[in-house]
Structure 1
Amino acid sequence: MKMGSRSRTSSKSNYRNPCLTMHQPWASLLVYGIKRIEGRSWPSPITGRLWIHAAGKVPEEETIKAMEEFYREIYAMNGITDIKFPEHYPVSRLLGCVEVVGCVTCEELASWEAVPSSVRLEGQTPFCWLCEQPQKLIVPFEMRGYQGVYNLERKVYEAAVRGLSSVKALLPVKFQLPDPRDPFSLKPGSIAATTSNWISEEEKSPSLVTAIAGARAAATQFSKKTSSPQPTTTTTEEIDN
């Protein structure tokens, strides 16, 4: 399946079909194209296709509601008010993949006027992985997950790649490379971070401020597990499976 002109192999040779395990509901929101930024405390070690696996922890209803409300509010800033969220948030399943086209800091994303305001508000962590071209598995299948970015087993990859279906994102975003000749030029420090383009607190409605606070609170339940840099090579330490 063609992934488009920006599709490319991972930037580190030790990654073959890299995968990232994420908690729900964030994992499904990313694969469904609603979430476009994957926030981490560490920069992305790869550029290219990244498989997304949902960890084994069943999300609380309050967490799901908080994150769905967050996306309703930020999408409304770009005039989108009808969002079809996933009907289910499966756990311990490989869900699909996205294309990681680069990684910038939170400050760079917040001031990047070339991307929609809703995308800029997604950056709530030190590093923001820029995700495009979501694809989901028609039938997510059970799989163990690990910490950090790790390689899918070959037999898992071969089965998964045959079951992908393209996703029509509500607001597709193309993150422009600073240097079109260099596919890896979109990295921390590549975008001018100026406060003049930031969305000020005064510009945010009370409901948006509340939604952002709710999203931050929902994410803090995992902060102790993810606050330190994660391994950037294959690891055998499982998480929540």
Structure 2
Amino acid sequence: MKALTLYQPWASLVSIGAKRIETRSWATRYRGPLAIHAAKVFPKWARELCSRITFSEVLFSPEKHCYTSSLDLPFGAIVATCILAECCRIGEDGLYRLDSNQIDPPKWFAPLPGYPEICFGDYTPGRFAWLFKDMQPLPEPIPASGHQGLWSWESPEVIA
């Protein structure tokens, strides 16, 4: 199974379904099953984001999730699986399929996501939006070493 490593708090935002779009500076042609991996490191700038109201209201709501602070977030582990359904170019006014060209109208278009999801990514025109569906958070994180880019992960039979 392919895997993608994300820093916290984004890995948990994805796993709980609050972030359905991952923004990247690069595109991928891969579509299919994807494991979401929470990076082992937790940079200071990422820790500071957890205290912002947009992030804390979503992540640390006791009635919605089991996290009470950034110390509860999982690190160095697979936290969810999903389907990478699409990868789109981000334009001034929305998301465009990569197979559309500049001359003809785009074959597919969707408006940019609304608040708060737009706060969870970098939607600068020219970047790429990776659209996730069928998110399945794991009951318990599975320890794993992450890598940059898309990488291969051997999933245990329990979730395969």
TM-score normalised by L of structure 2: 0.69
- The answer to whether residue 91 in structure 2 is matched with residue 90 in structure 1 is no
Whether contact under 8 Å (1:29, 1:86) holds in the other structure is no
Distance in 1 separating the partners of 2:113 and 2:147: 33
Gaps of 5+ in 2: 97-108
Deviations 1:194-229 (A, max 9, x none): xxxxxxxxxxxxxxxxxxxxxxxxxxxxxxxxxxxx
Distance in 1 separating the partners of 2:133 and 2:116: 12
- The answer to whether residue 56 in structure 2 is matched with residue 57 in structure 1 is no
Distance in 2 separating the partners of 1:159 and 1:58: 29
Partner residue in 2 for 1:20? 4
Larger radius of gyration: 1
* Letter in structure 2 aligned against 1:138: P
Distance in 1 separating the partners of 2:117 and 2:89: 11
Distance in 2 separating the partners of 1:25 and 1:49: 22
Whether contact under 8 Å (1:28, 1:89) holds in the other structure is yes
* Letter in structure 2 aligned against 1:41: S
Greater RCO, 1 or 2 (C-alpha within 8 Å, sep 6+): 2
The structure that is helix-richer by fraction is 1
Whether contact under 8 Å (2:4, 2:36) holds in the other structure is yes
**What is the root-mean-square deviation of aligned Cα atoms in Å?**
3.0
* Letter in structure 2 aligned against 1:29: L
- The 5 A counterparts of 1:58-207 are 58=42, 60=44, 61-66=47-52, 69=54, 84-85=64-65, 87=67, 88-107=72-91, 108-109=94-95, 112-113=110-111, 117-118=114-115, 121=118, 122=121, 124-125=123-124, 126-153=127-154, 157-161=155-159
Whether contact under 8 Å (2:25, 2:128) holds in the other structure is yes
Partner residue in 2 for 1:201? none
- Aligned to 1:117, the other structure's residue is in SS state coil
Partner residue in 1 for 2:106? none
Q: Describe the shift of the 1:160–1:54 C-alpha distance in structure 2 as closer, same or farther (beyond 3 A).
A: farther
TM-score normalised by L of structure 1: 0.48
The structure that is strand-richer by fraction is 2
Gaps of 5+ in 1: 1-16, 74-81, 163-241
Whether contact under 8 Å (2:32, 2:84) holds in the other structure is yes
